[in-house]
Structure 1
Amino acid sequence: MSTTPSAGHHRLSGSLGVGAIVFMVVAAAAPLTVVAGTVPIGIAAGNGAAFPASYVVCTVVLLFFAVGFTAMARHVDAGGAFSTYVARGLGRPAGVGSAFLALVSYAAVQLAVYGFIGSAIDVLVTDHGGPDLPWGMWSVAVMVVVALLGYRHIELSGRVLGVLLVAEVAVVMVLNVVVIARGGGDEGLATTTFDPSAFTSGAPGIALIFAVAGYIGFEATAIFRNEARDPDRTIPRATYAALLLIGGFYALSAWALVSWWGDEGAVARAVADPGTMLGETATTVLGGFGGDVVEVLLVTSVFAAILAFHNVISRYLHTLGDPASEVAVLPSALGRAHEDHGSPHVASLTTSVVGAVLLAGCVAFRLDPVLEVFTWFAAVSVVGLIALMLLTSIAVVAHFRRHPGLATPWQAVVAPAVAICGLAAFAWMTVDNLALLVGGSASVATCFKALLVGAFAAGLLLSLAIRRQAVPDPVPASAQP
């Protein structure tokens, strides 16, 4: 471990408001990519025309999670989100284990979208008469741009993500409005979506797995605490706003898509070719120009997600290296902040290097960028992040039980308990169906399960091995007599 520099060299800076943080969190969810890719798959493999209701169920469960999560945010004056909260509730070793699990989960999803964007750019370029280059070259080009933005001040990333997010959401909302204004397709606006019996038909468990995948990264609101303006107000507001925007947008867009094709027609079209369902809908409803816009914005949507994930990974590494952090177990150089940009520049560069190594490995093993890189690693990230949310909810209950009076019973027990039940169900479904999500390979699923368990165990054991003096769980000033 290196010598600990002054605290000023580790403190991140920024004045992000609710809007900027919401932009980064929603951008990580890649709303256009979800509507174009996940929604058709959920319709085909899940519960058909009732799939849009899956987003309502997921939003409700995650809103219960957010109650305890934001209550903790008011009493934890530190970054690190999941890892710091788990450390406060379940102890420092569990917190470090959670940080390692978060790193693996976010690195997996970032690798997944690097594969997807390489393939998407190649298709876009060749469709318009450009050269047919290996997908890995396009992914590397994107990685360079992300590395440059991640190195700079966080507000630059916030502005870039804001522009890209507005564009991708706007084109889908225009499509939604036109479809609804026309009264849907030949069968009118879909009503099956609101039928409980239809929701439980087919494979509702698979539907919920694909639905919850669209919320990856929403908890990153707390990761930006040290770069937020008035974090005690900004973080809770941004968390609820991000959840409601993501859930509402997904549910509305999925319902409009089903309404255009009809209940049976939507299932048939999604089964035939899920990847082109949204593009064909946009071309039919908005004309050829609309289809081209969707194709271009799909690439920018994935780019926005990659940038957002890069920022999240960098801040987890920064927390693990910051000597002032409760989960600091890595070299303090990772916890340094840039003197001019106030960014975690060392952690950001490390994130870029690790991403390049993982991407090179995928190329060397000749993995398909969509069917293997994207599908496999996105699936493992969903499992890891659901596990982290479950651990965090348990930690919330444990923390407030030790410090009664810091939160209301609703915030400290009731809402987190409901979230624990919902998240435990999500966790069971994802683990049980992981082999299906990775192409039916039981051996690949087993390797990924071992990777996630191993990441948590490695962090826990490293924390115990270092034998640093445990940081006491402070009682906030508001609770002191």
Structure 2
Amino acid sequence: MTPSQELSTAVTPTPNQARLGGNMGVISLVFTVMAFSAPAVAFLGFIPVAIALGNGVGTPVAFLACGVVVALVAVGLTTMARSLPNPGGFYAFISAGLGKTVGLGAGFAAIIIYYVACMSTYALGGIAARSIIADVFHGPALPWWIFAAVLWVIVGVLGYFRIDFSARVLTIFLGLELLLLVSYDVSVLLRGGADGLSLDSFHPASIVSGSVAIAFMFGVGLYGGFEATVIFRDEVRTPERTIPRATYAVVALLAVMYSLTAWLFINAYGPMAVLDVVTADPTAAATASIKEYTGEFAYTMATVLLLTSAFASTLAAHSFATRYAFNLSADKILHHSLSRVHHTQLSPHRASIAISLATFAGLVPLVLARIPDATVYGRLSGVYTYTFLLLLILVALAIPVYLIRHRRAAESVTKPVVASGVAAAILCIALYLATVNFELITGATGVLTVVLLLLIYGIVAAGMVMASIYRRKRPEVYARIGRDDTNLAGTDS
């Protein structure tokens, strides 16, 4: 028997191995994934800052450009998913394309980015809740971590149950966020903005003004989590149809929503005045614009929706991180108990509990360090965005390699290969510029910048080293890396 045959035999599933279960359709899956991008948070926080630090009035085009690049990756991702029906997300796809060593490094990075996303949105949710209590209801200004602890309990409970339940919760909250954005957009359109609707954002001079690199970085972050449509493969109806439709729908909706809202926000103040406004106070610029164009009630609701948006994003990030942990456990990389499937909920309940405990352990040092409230979310989200960009590059490189190696005689893979290759080239340039501007993206300075960069690449390197060790000393574990079979989950408990 050859070594490759031995590795293949090592991953043969047994009949009694359990799988996750669910009944999500296209809409539920789209809303679950879109909730992670937190539209209300993006509007109130990301868009004004992107305008201030990025390419100014040309920001809507930058967002559209990011959508096109992510769509190019999605073309290859969905094509690859047809011949690689695994629920491992980036971890599985990078392993299949670039090898198990790089794949395990990517798997570690994937858990970390959604783990960091959880912590950042817990902090944001706690700060938003404190603001509501103090400003709206004129209550005491309690520490943000008290409210974050309440959110932590709720997310932990929801994460324990079947994904369908969380999907319904996310659908409700995301629906409210979209209602706010649509109301704002329509109001600005009907009133014609401050000085009439201008197309300055689409002028070449505006597009290349300011820092295009920073604008692109903010834009890429808005599409985070789009690959989660693949992670939920075992928990949706007819995944062969649901996943491609949901993936394209998520990318298209995010591209239209954020670029349109950014363009209308710019026109709400006027292209000549908006830069001064967002530079003075980005967050106040968004809320004040909502108040002016949609009224006092919408302004109050925006404050509340900042909390619900942070909660929805946290719940989605928790679900993503949980499933990456589940997949790594199913492959025997993490402790085997994390791949246990609940006997009635068909949920990764053990992995969910582990992510909750790990998040709590991460939040405690943040609280004890007394990091200023205004910087907690920004720094953590910057680390997430940078690492997500790194993973996008790896998967964009993995897709053409896999498709060329596994091309069928009657199948043309030219379009997805070219699309992924173009995306990879653009993303590599973006990663270089992001590294150069890392301090601006994360808000970190001096030694902390170096520490964060070493931590990000160190996690990837740790996964690669571990894979190399498994290859030499435990080949049966090495063979499992990348979810080679969707039936590698643990047994019921």
Contact 1:321 1:335 (8 Å CA) reproduced = yes
Measure, in 2, the Cα distance between the counterparts of 1:223 and 1:349.
18
The alpha carbon displacement at 1:464 in A equals 2.2
- Distance of aligned partners of 1:200 and 1:7 in 2 relative to their CA distance in 1, 3 Å threshold: farther
Measure, in 2, the Cα distance between the counterparts of 1:423 and 1:6.
41
Give the match for residue 157 of structure 1: 166
Match of 1:137 among 124, 146, 149: 146
Question: What SS does the aligned partner of 1:218 have?
Answer: coil
Measure, in 2, the Cα distance between the counterparts of 1:363 and 1:278.
28
Give the match for residue 241 of structure 1: 249
Give the match for residue 468 of structure 1: 475
Compare 437-446 and 311-320 and name the one that shifted more. 437-446
Give the match for residue 182 of structure 2: 173
Give the match for residue 222 of structure 1: 230
1:332 matched to 2:339? no
The alpha carbon displacement at 1:377 in A equals 1.2
The alpha carbon displacement at 1:431 in A equals 1.5
How do residues 23-172 of structure 1 correspond to structure 2 at under 5 angstroms?
23-127=31-135, 128-172=137-181
Q: TM-score, normalised by structure 1?
A: 0.94
The alpha carbon displacement at 1:20 in A equals 0.8
How do residues 81-480 of structure 1 correspond to structure 2 at under 5 angstroms?
81-127=89-135, 128-185=137-194, 187-322=195-330, 325=331, 328-371=332-375, 373-405=376-408, 408-439=412-443, 441-466=445-470, 467-469=474-476, 470-471=478-479
The alpha carbon displacement at 1:356 in A equals 0.4
Q: TM-score, normalised by structure 2?
A: 0.91
The alpha carbon displacement at 1:115 in A equals 1.2
The alpha carbon displacement at 1:413 in A equals 1.7
Measure, in 2, the Cα distance between the counterparts of 1:474 and 1:256.
44
The alpha carbon displacement at 1:225 in A equals 0.7
Letter in 2 for 1:136: W
- Distance of aligned partners of 1:412 and 1:174 in 2 relative to their CA distance in 1, 3 Å threshold: closer
> How many residues are aligned here?
467
Q: Deviations over 1:290-331 (max 9, x none)?
A: 100111111101110000000000000000011xx4xx4111
Identity of matched residues, % = 34
Query: Where does the alignment leave 5 or more consecutive residues of structure 1 unmatched?
Result: 477-481
Measure, in 2, the Cα distance between the counterparts of 1:76 and 1:368.
45
Question: What SS does the aligned partner of 2:210 have?
Answer: coil
Contact 2:87 2:483 (8 Å CA) reproduced = no
Measure, in 1, the Cα distance between the counterparts of 2:99 and 2:484.
15
Measure, in 1, the Cα distance between the counterparts of 2:105 and 2:220.
23
Measure, in 1, the Cα distance between the counterparts of 2:91 and 2:408.
23
Measure, in 1, the Cα distance between the counterparts of 2:147 and 2:483.
48
Letter in 2 for 1:162: T
The alpha carbon displacement at 1:143 in A equals 0.5
Letter in 1 for 2:340: R
Measure, in 1, the Cα distance between the counterparts of 2:318 and 2:262.
28
- Distance of aligned partners of 1:177 and 1:8 in 2 relative to their CA distance in 1, 3 Å threshold: farther
The alpha carbon displacement at 1:8 in A equals 4.7
- Distance of aligned partners of 1:475 and 1:37 in 2 relative to their CA distance in 1, 3 Å threshold: closer
Question: What SS does the aligned partner of 2:120 have?
Answer: helix
Measure, in 1, the Cα distance between the counterparts of 2:379 and 2:319.
22
Q: Deviations over 1:305-362 (max 9, x none)?
A: 000000000000000011xx4xx41111111111111110000000000000100010
Contact 1:438 1:444 (8 Å CA) reproduced = no
Letter in 2 for 1:59: G
Question: What SS does the aligned partner of 1:343 have?
Answer: coil
Measure, in 2, the Cα distance between the counterparts of 1:38 and 1:8.
47
Q: Deviations over 1:160-184 (max 9, x none)?
A: 0000001011111111011101111
The alpha carbon displacement at 1:438 in A equals 2.6
- Distance of aligned partners of 1:146 and 1:8 in 2 relative to their CA distance in 1, 3 Å threshold: farther
Measure, in 2, the Cα distance between the counterparts of 1:422 and 1:231.
30
Give the match for residue 8 of structure 2: none
Q: Deviations over 1:361-417 (max 9, x none)?
A: 10011112331x211111111111111111111111111121122752334421111
Q: Deviations over 1:79-124 (max 9, x none)?
A: 1110001111111121111100111111112111111111111111
Compare 195-204 and 306-315 and name the one that shifted more. 195-204
- Distance of aligned partners of 1:6 and 1:369 in 2 relative to their CA distance in 1, 3 Å threshold: farther
Measure, in 1, the Cα distance between the counterparts of 2:483 and 2:418.
24
Compare 205-214 and 63-72 and name the one that shifted more. 205-214
Contact 2:86 2:92 (8 Å CA) reproduced = yes
Q: Deviations over 1:451-472 (max 9, x none)?
A: 1111111111222223323539
Contact 2:231 2:323 (8 Å CA) reproduced = yes
Measure, in 1, the Cα distance between the counterparts of 2:23 and 2:224.
24
- Distance of aligned partners of 1:281 and 1:380 in 2 relative to their CA distance in 1, 3 Å threshold: same
Measure, in 1, the Cα distance between the counterparts of 2:26 and 2:374.
34
Letter in 2 for 1:135: W
